Structure 1
């Protein structure tokens, strides 16, 4: 399934694999996906999944909601820490947050685990910055 949502005023294409759709239909409570753009000694991206309700999450399906959060970690250069439960804090955005929202989000369900990835479209970026 492919659908469009709006995060922080920006359209985002969300694609759910067939397996993800099947698994979501089995759920009795919604699943929340936190799309994180991580700022630190390098920029990284992660999608985390939770059963906890999140204010301002955007509905993709009745059982699946998404939200976007630019963050930083105390040990931002340690992916081991990031991937093993380190607490994130909000990254103070000086620029418009919309510029950092991804263009596409893909969700899969494999081997009993939720997997998410997001991308930024180079074509869209070029169009935004092209000069006539």
Structure 2
């Protein structure tokens, strides 16, 4: 499986990003995480610096559109193959920037994709 970066990762068990990290790890998908607070979730170190990430295939977003703006350049510079916009993260402005940079946009729920074996 291709390396996935969870952006908006949280240490709080009730957050969807936390659950996504758990499910990705359970599916043996190499997982990295970016968040505002460092910590460890299911063996995945949440980092606060984008320069720690390399060779990312998929980014799964858990940031609302307003918070995404500050990270546009950093996310694009990772040159992922695709970005999954989970419910609540939909952002047409960012879709355009990503497509202009050859990055696939997927509007979906990572948890559903994993549960239905469509995460690839």
TM superposition score category, shorter chain reference: under 0.3
Q: Based on CA coordinates, which of the two structures has the bigger radius of gyration?
A: 1
Higher helix share: 2
Which structure is richer in relative contact order (CA contacts within 8 A, separation 6 or more)? 1
Higher strand share: 1
Which TM-score applies when normalising by structure 1? 0.25
